[in-house]
Structure formats: C-alpha cells, structure tokens
C-alpha cells in the first residue's frame, strides 16, 4: 500500500503545481471575462481534487485489520472523485468557439489537467489492483 500512498502524493504535488500555473494564468492581463471565470472554476476544481486525493491517502493510512476492505473502497472512491472533479474545468473549455477562449489559455489548461489526470489515474490503478 506504500506504493499507492506515494502515487497519491505525487498526484497531489502535480495538482498543486497545476493549481499554481492556472492561478498565475488567471492573473494575466487581457483575459476575457469568460476565460477569467473559467480559470477560477478550474482552480476550484483542482483544489477539490487535491482535497479528495488527501482523503484517499488518509483512507490508505487508516487500513488496519478487518476494516481494510472498507478503507480500500474509500481510498478508491476518493481518488475517483478527485479525477471527476477535474471534469468541471475541462467542461468549461470544451467545445467553445475560439473567439471566447484564447488558444494559448486553452493549451495551458489542457496540459495541466492532462498531468493531473495521468498521475491520478496511475494512483487509482495501483489502488484498484493492489
């Protein structure tokens, strides 16, 4: 289970880094109202994901004896929830006309979400196949 914990901690670090990148992006001048609003939604989504990943780490840490299966279920559920939270950000930028979203802004958001998704999916896979 140590490997699962470490994978979750890496996902947390990746999500926190992405949050900083998106936060800096949201402070740039020249963003449209829509871009500014959507980046704020992304920041909130990433913070929620970090919270869920942390809950997953705690559930793994709480695994002792007979309750292992329950804690494993919670760890898996929290990790899955963390990944689902990212959907709020991705949905905000999906299928929007280019006039509403600068392609560079979209690219930064997409790359940040992809990193979190990959790291989170690795952790979830390890938890699921322990």
d(CA 56, CA 75): 4
The region that residue 31 occupies, defined by phi over 0 for left and psi between -120 and 50 for alpha, beta otherwise, is beta
What is the predicted pLDDT for the residue at 97? 63
What is the predicted pLDDT for the residue at 32? 87
At the second CATH level, the architecture of 2-128 is: Up-down Bundle (1.20)
Q: What percent of the chain has pLDDT over 90?
A: 58
The confidence band for 58, taking pLDDT boundaries of 50, 70 and 90, is very high
- 125 and 27 Cβ atoms separated by less than 8 Å: no
Sequence ranges of the domains in the chain? 2-128
108-127 burial code (b ≥16 CB/10 A, e <16): bbeebbebbbebbeebbebb
Average pLDDT (60-81) is 87
Choose the most confident range, by mean pLDDT, from 65-69, 78-82, 89-93: 78-82
| pTM of the model as a whole | 0.89
The confidence band for 33, taking pLDDT boundaries of 50, 70 and 90, is confident
d(CA 60, CA 56): 6
């Amino acid at each position: 289970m140590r490997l699962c914990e470490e994978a979750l901690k890496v996902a947390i670090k990746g999500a926190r880094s992405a949050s900083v990148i998106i936060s800096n992006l949201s402070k740039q001048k020249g963003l449209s109202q829509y871009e500014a609003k959507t980046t704020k939604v992304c920041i909130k989504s990433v913070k929620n994901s970090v919270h869920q990943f942390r809950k997953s780490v705690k559930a793994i840490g709480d695994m002792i004896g007979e309750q292992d299966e329950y804690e494993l279920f919670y760890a898996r559920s929290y990790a899955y929830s963390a990944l689902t939270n990212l959907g709020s950000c991705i949905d905000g930028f999906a299928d929007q006309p280019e006039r509403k979203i600068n392609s560079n802004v979209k690219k930064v958001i997409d790359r940040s979400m992809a990193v979190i998704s990959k790291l989170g999916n690795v952790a979830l896979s390890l938890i699921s196949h322990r």
